């Protein structure tokens, strides 16, 4: 064996560009651990074009200090001539960790070329254990972090936050600081119970909101927004207002509805006629969109090509979904998933009394010439499904 004979290891003898490609595939933390084993490889971490430090959930708190030190070490010792194509860091919102990471990333933003920069910021407590006071405290800590290290946030392209209850002007101020931001995700974030979120940003492409206590989210001016995801809103009336979003193409909405309130797609999309991909998840509870006349709905669904209706309750007739096919004549791919709570555990039981959605075809003999694929998950050989397939077949 060559290693036993003292001829060195084969890995460190590989060409430098090959080694760098290998190291970038395993993540920065593992790359540094690997390079420690060989003197010939000690300087390679400072030459990586991608710096990705994303500890797992179980290691996140324990590794927070190590991650902050590693970011500083790698960024402070690298040549400014080497472009960082991607910097992605996941860390916990602690004063010491934020200070170190903010300084290191801010200096890198000022002295090096950095194409993409992403922060995934967790809180010391998860959402299940956060009190109202915790949400306020974490939000205050984060806004101070942004204010103290504006240079770091000015170059961010993606930001993922959780468990924060902001003040009224905090989110607009953060968006004003993060001028290069392209993707923003909120999990259990809001500006107070039944608050209204106004969003304006020149470059934001993707926005995702999961839970939180916003009464309404108003997308006032997002000229580059292409994808909007809203999962579980607390209020029944006007959860989402789409203002100036001329490039919005993918819209995803999910909610387990327990009330009788419904949304009208013609009103929701009144200012938007560019959506081509629509995903609606009903979580096996009540149907929360109302079938509408094709003449009313057609103008806002002219670009729709892909529809995914997920977790429809089993006990309800699914023929109502035909109203979308009637209104959107250019749909190519139509997918339905029928699923109900089966395991019997308390967390999976239904808490609403489901009723069939009333729908009658406006044109009994209408044809859909563009539908290329119909997929039904949870299909059963009963009248509900067989009747649906029969009607769908006649659309050809």
Q: What percent of the chain has pLDDT over 70?
A: 90
CA angle 193/260/342 to nearest 5° reads 95
SS (H, E, C) 156-173: CCEEEEEEEECCCCHHHH
- Span 291-323, pLDDT tens digits: 999 999 999 999 999 999 999 988 788 889 989
Average pLDDT over residues 78-105: 93
Q: Are 311 and 336 in contact (CB under 8 A)?
A: no
Q: Are 175 and 166 in contact (CB under 8 A)?
A: no
What is the full DSSP assignment across 113-176?
A: -BS-EEEEEE-SS-GGG--HHHHHHHHHHHHHHHHHTHHHHHT-SEEEEEEEE--TTHHHHHHH
- Span 230-272, pLDDT tens digits: 999 987 778 999 999 999 999 999 998 877 788 999 999 999 9
Q: Is residue 277's pLDDT more than 90?
A: yes
Any residues with CB less than 8 A from the CB of 178 and at least 6 apart, and which? Answer: 153, 154, 156, 159, 184
pTM, rounded to two decimals = 0.89
């Amino acid at each position: 064996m060559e290693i036993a004979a003292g001829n060195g290891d084969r890995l460190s003898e590989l060409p430098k560009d090959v080694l760098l490609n290998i190291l970038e595939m395993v993540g920065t933390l593992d790359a540094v651990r690997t390079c420690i084993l060989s003197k010939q490889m000690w300087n390679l971490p400072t030459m990586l074009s991608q710096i990705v430090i994303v500890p797992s959930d179980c290691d996140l708190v324990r590794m927070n200090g190590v991650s902050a030190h590693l970011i500083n070490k790698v960024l402070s010792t690298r040549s400014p001539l080497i472009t960082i194509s991607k910097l992605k860091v996941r860390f916990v919102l602690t004063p010491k960790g934020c200070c170190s990471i903010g300084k290191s990333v801010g200096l890198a933003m000022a002295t090096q070329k950095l194409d993409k920069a992403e922060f995934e910021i967790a809180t010391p407590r998860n959402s299940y254990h956060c009190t109202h006071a915790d949400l306020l405290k974490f939000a205050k800590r984060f806004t101070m972090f942004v204010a103290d290290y504006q240079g770091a946030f000015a170059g961010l392209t993606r930001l993922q936050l959780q468990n924060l209850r902001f003040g009224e002007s905090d989110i607009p101020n953060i968006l004003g600081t993060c001028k290069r931001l392209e993707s923003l995700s909120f999990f259990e974030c809001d500006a107070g119970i039944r608050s209204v979120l106004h969003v304006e940003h020149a470059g934001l492409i993707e926005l995702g909101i999961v839970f939180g206590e916003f009464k309404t989210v108003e997308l006032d001016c997002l000229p580059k927004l292409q994808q909007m995801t809203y999962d579980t809103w607390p209020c029944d009336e006007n959860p989402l207002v789409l203002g100036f979003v001329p490039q919005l193409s993918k819209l995803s909405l999910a909610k387990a509805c327990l009330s009788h309130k419904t949304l009208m797609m013609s009103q929701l999309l009144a200012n938007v006629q560019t959506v081509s991909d629509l995903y609606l998840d009903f979580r096996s509870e009540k149907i929360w969109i109302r079938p509408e006349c094709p003449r009313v709905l057609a103008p806002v669904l002219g670009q729709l090509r892909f529809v995914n209706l997920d977790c429809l309750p089993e006990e309800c007739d699914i023929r109502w979904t035909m109203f979308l096919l009637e209104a959107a004549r250019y749909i190519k791919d139509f997918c339905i998933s029928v699923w109900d709570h089966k395991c019997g555990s308390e967390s999976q039981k239904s808490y609403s009394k489901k009723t069939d959605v009333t729908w009658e075809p406006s044109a009994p003999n209408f044809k859909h010439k563009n539908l290329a694929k119909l997929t039904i998950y949870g299909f059963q050989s009963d009248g509900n499904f067989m009747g649906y397939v029969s009607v769908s077949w006649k659309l050809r």
